Chain A
Amino acid sequence: MSSQPNRLAEGGAIDRSKTVRFSFDGQALTGHEGDTLASALLANGIKLVGRSFKYHRPRGILTAGSEEPSALVELRSGARREPNTRATTIELYEGLEASSQNRWPSLKFDVMAVSQLFAPFIGAGFYYKTFMWPAAFWEKLYEPMIRRAAGLGRGAGVADPDHYEKAHAFCDVLVVGGGAAGLAAALASARTGARVILCEEDFRLGGRLLAELDEIDGRPARDWVEAAEAELESLPDCRILRRTTVQGVYDGGTYAAIERVNDHVPLPPAHEPRQRFWKIVAKRAVLAAGAIERPIVFGDNDRPGIMLAGAVRVYVNRYGVAPGKRAVLFADNDDAFRTAVDLAEAGVAVAALIDARKLPSAAAQAAAERAGARYLSGAVIKRVRGRQGVKGVEVRDASGKTESFDCDLVAVSGGWAPSLHLTTHLNGKPQWSEALSALAPGTLPPGMSVAGAAKGAFGLGSCLAQGHDAGAGAAAACGFTGGSGKASAAADNDRGTVSPVWQVENSRGKAFVDFQNDVSVSDVKLAAREGFRIPEHLKRYTTLGMATDQGKTGNLNGAAVLAQATGRYLGAVGTTTFRPPFTPVAISAFAGHHRGQDFRPARLAPSHGWAKEQGAVFVETGPWLRALYYPLTGEEPQDSVNREVANVRTKVGVCDVSTLGKIDVQGSDAGTFLDRVYANTFSVLAVGKARYGLMLREDGIVLDDGTTARLAEDHYFMTTTTANAVKVMQHLEFCQQVLWPEFDVQMVSVTEQWAQYAVAGPRARDVLQAIVDPAHDLSNAAFPYLACGNVSVGGGIPARVYRLSFSGELAYEIGVPARFGDALVRAIMEAGAAYGIAPYGTEALGVLRIEKGHPAGAELNGQTTAHDLGFGKMLSTKKDFIGRYMAARPALTDPARPSLVGLRPLDREDRLRAGAHLLPKDAEASAANDQGHVTSIAFSPSLGHWLGLGLLAHGPERHGEILRAYDPVRGGDVPVEVRPPCFIDPEGERLRV
């Protein structure tokens, strides 16, 4: 076990007394509590962390934050393996396992790195240009080949074993970012009594204050952070969400945030989620997301050991790590040269300060002196030595002379750019700021203000002042005008002259603009030559900014190179669009609880448990689980269905129909209302009677069907199909509220209230008479076909009986309040035992209705009219109803329209297939000869062969004709005979016995 050779003896916000063991590529290492994986790797002297996406170039650690493009690793193992995780944001925990990605066989020796040799040939658009032809090769050959060579980490390949959840939060003021400006904003707003939520991406509050040796109110900034944190925690209406990244801004002051609740521990504790997806609704928001440092582009600028200057200060000052032994600084601003002083104080040798600005800077010079380093102004790095780690740099000075410096660390800075991504999520456009040489927030989302570095105020004093004002202002806008307390004060550091240097011309080696997608200066220039002059186009052609980091460190440089290549002013080139999420989000976090059986809630009928006991096999019908069939032990599905059907035809069966939509329609105008929504008439239906009803859409197509019973003068009970229940209820509410608000009619869904069972078969009456309380007479005389009424069961429990039949047999439906459903079905089974009762599922229900020629879902398919289904006569001519006029359009009454017919195979041994096309007997199988299709099929145990329903042009006129049922998908070609749809008891005598 190594001993963290690059760990400084003292300093930093880590706990040296607590050692944390971890491994990288199988190597056992240690770090300390408070480390990130990146800081711990650096402490162990590990700089080579991964291989790049396209060229497999060795890569190290560029930044110390979530903008990291290079140091991507696979974290954890097995089902919890997370690819492309940024080492700079992973909090070190005991037993952490990480491995490098996109290398084989090892990180140091990667076979695919030979692709670098071909780099000159695989520039922008290479794939588009090279693999164009033949097109058929793309899917089979080129794409798999490219995908193998390029790419980053591997997904786990199995389901994530952890739980993720969502949560909602509401506040007056949301503060995004817990650095100097964010803390000041949170304090100023929370002190007023406003409800405040502070989201900080890091596991520790403080932001840059953790990385700088600044003072606030005359004391060390870190003490100020601690005091601010303590004060915020003491305020009852202030909530601090650490490890929480605000990912997106949406309408109505809605913000999405991901809280990494348990990413910093080996396993989430029992009952806790790994991550929580917050939906935060805030009246006002203060964006204090800080700034992101820009690299300077030069040849081989991606070598491990080249790091942003601000990140170097983070590793030195926050983590107590020396990222190298001998450093060279290369920057175009004074802020970066502060790094030299911090490094020197930490005991790191600083060889030289390479100032890209033409005019020497006094502040930089002073820093060089304090660090004991050479100072070269107007100089640039023209070459980097070392492949898997920097060994030195060659510098070209203002006079053109070359000088060489040995070093293992190059700290680079092209200045800071506001982290303004969230300001653009609602179409806000950033504005070019000449003063900042960067984009600054432009138009803001409603309710958002920006403070501190995110607004381009890089001085600490300005950050504190702006944060305070923004926080107090946001609270005041929410009506909290109480005291915001005193703003804290600090000095602003002098940034010095800003004269940005974007790239070094004529430096040796590939100069990278976008590290994660391996986009170089030559790619951008090539794209410009080929006419891609707009950043959005450049992005899509070169993939600049399209990686998981969305080009946080590369976009600006890309735009600058493009501006230069096209001879334009950088401020006029524009930018690409930042979209949520701000950082990559695991799919599991979006899913939350909705996985596996909870992907959608399942609706269970009141006797679901009973059906399960019977061994039912269930099927999803919309959101419901319904019993498909009830196999006996060892019974094949088809045998079970045959038995269930035969049992209904010869004895008696029971079927759970609780899932049908049920709607109470009440009021003095209920009858008139139903006349308008149904194609047939209901106002004249007698109390105590039920009727089949057909509902049309406005366009004349059938919407739904079902039976409606009249329970009282002003009370109808409507049923709908299971699948259309919600749609019908919405339709009725629209009709009532918008079309005819003058009607006295009230509707409410009672689907859930009634457990309802169909009892069907020749012995149905015997069974049901034994179920209802003795006072109720269900004889044919007292309770004829289509009668309905209130009864009681089980000694006074209110129930309703409807004499309806879908099967064509003597049948009743009986409903009880749902909590008695389980008991009722058991009672029915008990009472029916003597008559040979058996439950039947939806599959048998389907067979029974096909035998009877009743249309259902496959025929009510949103394309059929009443005429198509043989219901033309039901369309009332005596009243108006929805769909009446549109249904009368010539095209909808054309007899050539495919209309309902029955079908049976000419050879009774043949099997029919739903979906088969109906063609004239001797016609060629072509689309021109297509005359319809088979909609539903079933094996009829009653008839002993397959039969089907179909929609056939001129159908009703063609009974007796022989057709081909042609099924190219499954290779079927069966001669069939066209029949009337009803195969069993066409006179309906069995219904009325």
Chain B
Amino acid sequence: MSDRPLHPRSALAGIAVPGRYGAPGSEPGVTIAERVGLGLATVAARKEHGEALKQAVANVYGIDLPEGSRIVQGPRVSFVGYGPGQWLAVSEALDGEALACDLLQNLKGLASISDQSGGRTVLRIGGPRARDVLAKGLPIDLDPRAFPLGSAATSTISLMGLQLWQTDDTRSYDIALFRSVSASFWRWLTASAGEYGYEVVGAGGA
């Protein structure tokens, strides 16, 4: 019995079904994709070890930890600043719990690491009307003048807390939600995106 494999399940399984929805038209105004299997972990600097942590992150992950609400992309791991001395580490290469394990090994004594890979649903919302959709819930100015590439924010949409960042595509935003509100968020998102037409891309998990 104990060697029976356990399969992961997205909080949007059966909810985010790939396809074209909302108002018809040639190009969907919005594309929505769940980034499944990401490694996610919170990293909080130990007291008096901030500088050593920066150094270690630079050595191991090849990037400078961002100050403030920014995302810095590394070759394997990206770091999103969300508070003084606090980051959310995001990785495709080190998926699931592997990221927290890796961070724990490399940053031991310098930072407190907590695996969050199961606790978040990460959506990538793109397309020409992505910003219009987000404006229906997000009280943040996403104009490139106010929110340039590499920006990050901790905010809420429709009473749901989230983290948001933009990496290299000016039309596309990553949103990390608490897993438990995924279904509620999906109802808000699809109700808001409907008028522009939207496409759900990729499998929303098993």
Contacts and interface: CB of A to CB of B under 8 A. Distances in A.
Contacts of A817: 96-97, 115, 117-119
Nearest to B138: A168
Given A167-B136, A746-B44, A753-B115, A797 B6 contact: yes
Contacts of B119: 750-754, 817-818
A748 B114 contact: yes
Interface in A682-719: 714-715
B97 A822 contact: no
Contacts of A978: none
A771 interface: yes
A284 interface: no
Interface stretch (A539-547, A600-608, A901-909): A600-608
A405 interface: no
A532 to B, nearest CB: 43
A606 B111 CA distance: 28
Contacts of B183: 602, 604
Contacts, number: 184
Given A771-B1, A817-B119, 16 more contacts: A167-B136, A168-B139, A598-B184, A603-B184, A667-B46, A667-B47, A752-B119, A754-B118, A794-B3, A794-B5, A794-B6, A817-B96, A822-B9, A823-B6, A823-B8, A824-B6
Q: Is the interface of B mostly helix, strand, loop or mixed?
A: loop
Given A743-B47, A748-B112, A772 B135 contact: no
Nearest to A794: B6
Interface centre among B96, B139, B179, B194 (most CB of A within 10 A): B179
Given A603-B180, A606-B179, A169 B135 contact: yes
A601 B118 contact: no
B76 interface: no
A593 B139 contact: no
Nearest to B3: A795
B112 A666 contact: yes
B39 to A, nearest CB: 11
A170 B146 contact: yes
A755 interface: yes
What 9 A-B pairs are tightest by C-beta distance, nearest first?
Answer: A271-B194, A817-B118, A752-B119, A794-B6, A666-B112, A753-B119, A744-B47, A818-B118, A601-B184
Interface in A805-837: 816-824, 827, 830-831
B195 A773 contact: no
A303 B176 CA distance: 62
A771 B116 CA distance: 23
B46 A746 contact: yes
B3 A773 contact: yes
Contacts of A609: 13-14
A218 interface: no
8 contacts: A165-B136, A600-B159, A602-B181, A604-B180, A667-B46, A752-B180, A793-B2, A818-B119
A601 B162 CA distance: 13
Interface in B176-199: 178-185, 187-188, 191-192, 194-195
A80 interface: no
Contacts of A602: 181, 183-184
Interface in A721-749: 742-746, 748
Interface centre among A598, A605, A743, A752 (most CB of B within 10 A): A752
A391 to B, nearest CB: 51
Contacts of B112: 664, 666-667, 714-715, 746, 748
A593 B191 CA distance: 8
Contacts of A170: 141, 143, 146
Contact of B158 (A601, A746, A827, A831): A601
Contacts of A163: 191
B44 to A, nearest CB: 4
Given A165-B136, A271-B194, A753-B114, A744 B1 contact: no
B11 A606 contact: yes
Contacts of A594: 158-159
Contacts of A818: 11, 118-119, 179
